[in-house]
């Protein structure tokens, strides 16, 4: 919807709002469409844009790049993506350390390794791999 609205003026947004209201009335007649969350969200967005442009100076066209609501949503999405990426990196680090500890165990050199920050989570990963059994050599 944001791509369609870019460059629209108040008249075009009002017309699109009326179309969205018509679609909502039509959808309410059908049981499978009456609970359409997407349609209600789109209608609400058209209403918001209509109010936004009604309050703007005459001749103003909509631009999502300058819309504070859109920019806030994009910032939230970017922060969530960064959090997911950080979680994936941490999970990969834990798996790599668990693999390293497993290799040291197989070489009978586990007792010679220096502990590192975060080894508890690597130990938990090895315990998970072993089906819940805590291996004494890794635990110490």
pLDDT at 116 over 80: yes
Average pLDDT, the chain: 88
Q: Rounded to an integer, what distance in angstroms lies between the CA atom of residue 53 and that of residue 45?
A: 12
**Residue at which a domain ends, from 66, 92, 113:** 66
**Biggest CA pair distance of the chain:** 78
- In angstroms, the CA 15 to CA 4 distance is 13
Task: Report yes or no on 89 lying in a domain.
Answer: yes
In a shared domain, residues 89 and 54: no
Angle ∠(45,50,56) on CA atoms, nearest 5: 125
Share of the chain above pLDDT 90, in %: 54
Domain span holding position 106: 79-140
Tell me if 96 is assigned to some domain.
yes
In a domain, 73, yes or no: no
Whether pLDDT at 36 is above 70: yes
Q: What's the pTM value of the predicted model, to 2 decimals? A: 0.65
Segment 100-109, tens digit of pLDDT: 888 888 888 8
CA angle 74, 76, 80 (to 5 degrees): 115
In this prediction, residue 132 carries a pLDDT of 66
Same domain for 89 and 137, yes or no, is yes
* Residues 54 and 87 both lie in one domain: no
The residue that leads in pLDDT, 130 or 135, is 130
Residue 74 lies in a domain: no
pLDDT at 133: 62
Query: What was the pLDDT predicted at 17?
Result: 96
Q: Residue 126: name the closest of 106, 114, 109, 112 by CA.
A: 106
Show which of 66, 95, 115 is a domain's final residue.
Answer: 66
State whether 62 and 83 are in the same domain.
Answer: no
Q: Is 10 helix (H, G, I), strand (E, B) or coil?
A: helix
Condensed to tens digits (0 to 9), the pLDDT of residues 47-88 reads: 999 999 999 999 999 999 999 999 999 999 999 999 999 999
pLDDT higher than threshold 80 for residue 138: no
């Amino acid at each position: 919807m944001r791509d369609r609205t870019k460059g629209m003026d108040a008249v075009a947004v009002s017309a699109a709002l009326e179309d969205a209201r018509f679609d909502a009335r039509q959808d309410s007649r059908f049981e499978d469409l009456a609970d359409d969350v997407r349609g209600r969200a789109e209608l609400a967005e058209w209403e918001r844009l209509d109010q936004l442009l009604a309050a703007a100076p005459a001749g103003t066209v909509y631009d999502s790049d300058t819309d504070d609501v859109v920019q806030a949503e994009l910032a939230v999405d970017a922060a969530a993506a960064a959090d997911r990426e950080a979680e994936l990196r941490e999970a990969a680090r834990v798996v790599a350390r668990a693999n390293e500890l497993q290799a040291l165990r197989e070489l009978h050199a586990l007792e010679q390794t220096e502990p590192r920050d975060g080894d508890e989570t690597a130990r938990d990963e090895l315990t998970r791999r072993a089906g819940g059994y805590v291996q004494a050599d890794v635990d110490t």
